Amino acid sequence: MDEVIKGHAARVRAVDPLVGGHDDLRERGEEPLRARDAVGVASVDRIDPGSLRASWSPLTVHRLEARVAGPDPEAALGGLVDRWIGALRSGDPEQALVVPWPSRDTAPVRALAVRGFAPIAVSAVRRLRKRSVRASAIRRATLADLEVVTWLYERLVAFDAQFGWVTVRASTSARIRELLVGEALPLEWCWVAEVEGEVAGVVIVSPPERSRWIARSVNARPVAYLGVLYVEPSVRGQGVGTALTEIAQSHAAAHGVHSMVLHHALPNPFSAPFWARRGYRPLITQWVRHLPQTTG
Ligand SMILES: CC(C)(COP(=O)(O)OP(=O)(O)OC[C@H]1O[C@@H](n2cnc3c(N)ncnc32)[C@H](O)[C@@H]1OP(=O)(O)O)[C@@H](O)C(=O)NCCC(=O)NCCS
Centre of ligand 1 from the C-alpha of residue 258, in Å: 24
Q: CB within 6 Å of ligand 1 — which residues? A: 126, 131, 133, 156, 159, 229-231, 236-242, 262, 264, 268, 270-271, 273-274, 277
Centre of ligand 1 from the C-alpha of residue 242, in Å: 6
Contact 43, 65 (CB under 8 A): yes
Q: Which of 56, 37, 35, 38 is nearest to 47 (CA)?
A: 56
Which atom in ligand 1 lies closest to the alpha carbon of residue 264? Answer: 48
pLDDT in tens, 169-208: 899 999 999 999 999 999 999 999 999 999 999 999 999 9
- Please enumerate in sequence order all residues whose Cβ is within 8 A of that of 110, keeping only pairs 6 or more positions apart, or say none: 74, 161, 162, 163, 164
Compute the average pLDDT of residues 30-54: 90
Q: CA–CA separation, 156 vs 231, rounded Å?
A: 9
pLDDT of residue 122: 66
Percent of residues in the chain assigned helix, strand, coil, to nearest 5: 35, 20, 45
pLDDT in tens, 203-242: 999 999 999 998 888 888 899 999 999 999 999 999 999 9
- Please enumerate in sequence order all residues whose Cβ is within 8 A of that of 188, keeping only pairs 6 or more positions apart, or say none: 204, 205, 206, 207, 210
Tell me if the domain spanning 136-277 has CATH number 3.30.70.360.
no
Pick the residue with more confidence: 7 or 266? 7
Q: Is the peptide bond before 49 cis (omega within 30 degrees of 0)?
A: no
Centre of ligand 1 from the C-alpha of residue 274, in Å: 6
Mutate-to-test residue for ligand 1 from 194, 199, 242, 264, highest number of ligand atoms within 8 A of CB:
242
Centre of ligand 1 from the C-alpha of residue 231, in Å: 8
Mutate-to-test residue for ligand 1 from 18, 128, 194, 231, highest number of ligand atoms within 8 A of CB:
231
Centre of ligand 1 from the C-alpha of residue 278, in Å: 10
Q: What is the pTM of this model?
A: 0.80
pLDDT of residue 294: 46
pLDDT in tens, 110-138: 999 999 998 877 677 665 433 444 556 99
- Please enumerate in sequence order all residues whose Cβ is within 8 A of that of 153, keeping only pairs 6 or more positions apart, or say none: 176, 180, 202, 228, 230
Pick the residue with more confidence: 168 or 76? 76
Structural domain spans, the chain: 3-113, 136-277
Question: Does residue 141 carry a pLDDT above 90?
Answer: yes
pLDDT in tens, 58-68: 888 889 999 99
